């Protein structure tokens, strides 16, 4: 999982340890701040704070995913822990990550791509109805069951909110322009990602991929979109992608309109299964 969100420092007060209980192992040691006659001063951070932040984020992820019940969302049945580890009890996805299938084949057929996009659209409509924004949909976070039915997994960057958000999070190639520009965002970031994924399913690479992070950001903000000439991608598919990869988030194709789009209607398997 590629998680790039810069989280705000935790505000929880540090509890004073009993005298003599501190040790070097309790801290991450940072840069030197100064040097005196009898010693040196370093910036340090108590590891327990980092542990608390991680647990807080993981708790949010578990609470959101366990509350969702949809055929295209990987079920989280429960969890337990010991002194060092947290164990998640997840639905089994027999065929693993969609990423592996995409890398193996290079690109998907229009029928498979449309079926996966339709399944994703239905799942996101369900999530958005429950005020959940996923914010990190990518092939690595999409799993396939025995029949090739798609399952959204990894809700690590998801949030349940009725208001706009401001935290930049997710994975570089799939970020919406409003995130790249550090503007407020809402459910429409998931709609943008559907356009990125549809392009990647059909062409084998994300649409704004570049040789550097800076250039990728620039291409996303400009919506520098082009379609290489290839006979296996129809004009209808390009039309759907173009209507999702729109800089103004209010003008992106809505989830219900995606399901009505001619390319989806013509190509998607209504059962949601993809087995060759």
Given a cut of 50, is residue 64 above it in pLDDT? Answer: yes
Domains of the chain: 48-89 (3.30.200.20), 93-267 (1.10.510.10)
pLDDT of residue 167: 62
d(CA 95, CA 90): 14
Going by pLDDT thresholds of 50, 70 and 90, the confidence category of residue 176 is very high
136 assigned to active site: yes
Active-site option among 26, 136, 186, 276:
136
Reported as a single tens digit per residue, the pLDDT across 78-124 is 888 777 777 888 899 999 899 988 989 899 999 999 999 999 999 99
Query: Is the Cα dihedral 246, 252, 253, 256 positive or negative?
Result: positive
Reported as a single tens digit per residue, the pLDDT across 193-251 is 999 999 999 999 999 999 998 999 999 999 999 999 888 999 999 999 999 999 999 99
Using DSSP, state whether 76 is helix, strand or coil: strand
What predicted TM-score, i.e. pTM, was given to this entire model? 0.77
pLDDT of residue 17: 43
Given a cut of 50, is residue 53 above it in pLDDT? Answer: yes
pLDDT of residue 10: 33
Find how far residue 185's CA is from the centre of its chain.
Answer: 14
pLDDT of residue 80: 81
pLDDT of residue 45: 64
Given a cut of 80, is residue 46 above it in pLDDT? Answer: no
- Tell me the two tokens of residue 155: 């809700």
Which residue did the predictor score with more confidence, 157 or 109? 109
Going by pLDDT thresholds of 50, 70 and 90, the confidence category of residue 270 is very high
């Amino acid at each position: 999982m590629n998680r790039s969100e810069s989280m705000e420092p935790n505000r929880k007060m540090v509890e004073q340890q009993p005298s003599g209980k501190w040790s070097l192992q309790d801290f991450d040691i940072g840069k030197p701040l100064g040097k005196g006659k009898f010693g040196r001063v370093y910036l340090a951070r108590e590891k327990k704070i980092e542990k608390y932040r991680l647990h807080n984020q993981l708790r949010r992820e578990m609470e959101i995913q366990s509350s969702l019940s949809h055929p295209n969302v990987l079920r989280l049945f429960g969890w337990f822990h010991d002194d060092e580890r947290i164990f998640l009890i997840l639905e089994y996805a027999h065929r693993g990550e969609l990423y592996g299938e995409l890398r193996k084949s290079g690109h998907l057929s229009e029928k498979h791509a449309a079926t996966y996009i339709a399944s994703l659209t239905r799942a996101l409509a369900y999530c958005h109805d429950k005020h959940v924004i996923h914010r990190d949909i990518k092939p690595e976070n999409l799993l396939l069951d025995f029949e090739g039915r798609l399952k959204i997994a990894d809700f690590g960057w998801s949030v349940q909110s009725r208001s706009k958000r401001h935290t930049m999070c997710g994975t570089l190639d799939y970020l919406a322009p409003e995130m790249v520009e550090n503007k407020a965002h809402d459910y429409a970031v998931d709609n943008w990602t559907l356009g990125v994924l549809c392009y990647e399913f059909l062409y084998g690479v994300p649409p704004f991929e570049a040789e550097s992070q800076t250039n990728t950001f620039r291409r996303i903000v400009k919506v520098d979109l082009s379609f290489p000439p290839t006979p296996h991608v129809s004009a209808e598919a390009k039309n759907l992608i173009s209507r999702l990869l729109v800089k103004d988030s209010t003008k992106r194709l809505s989830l219900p309109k995606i399901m009505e789009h001619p390319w989806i209607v013509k190509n998607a398997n209504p059962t949601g299964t993809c087995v060759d």
